Amino acid sequence: MAGNTDNTNWVCVYKAYSPVNAEIVTTVLNDNGIESFRSDRRDSVYTFLGEIEVLVPENQVKNALILIESIDVD
């Protein structure tokens, strides 16, 4: 999560129930030069409740969405 302490506005571009899918999306984004991180919004006890969000800087949303649409993670 390097660089996440600055004044960057982060935007959710993907939500997953599966940590594996969230990891795949984050890895693909990072491998393609789009900084991203996961925010786990799941309940700590009932992990089937809630989602994992993948966030990118606001100025990378369009590129991130194009890239996410090109991969098959669901």
Q: Token digits for 71?
A: 């991969």
Query: Torsion over CA of 71, 30, 4 and 14, rounded to 10 degrees?
Result: 0
User: What is the rounded distance in angstroms from the CA atom of residue 53 to the CA atom of residue 42?
Assistant: 10
Q: How confident is the model at residue 1 (pLDDT cuts 50, 70, 90)?
A: very low
Bridge partners (DSSP) listed for residue 55: 12, 37
Q: What is the pLDDT of residue 11?
A: 96
Instruction: State which amino acid sits at residue 1.
Output: M
Total domains present in the chain: 1
Domain region containing 55: 10-69
Instruction: Please write the tens of the pLDDT for every residue from 13-66.
Output: 999 888 889 999 999 999 999 999 988 866 566 656 678 899 999 999 999 999
DSSP classification of residue 8: P
Q: Is residue 52 part of a domain?
A: yes
Q: What is the pLDDT of residue 4?
A: 52
CATH of the domain at 24: 3.30.70.1530
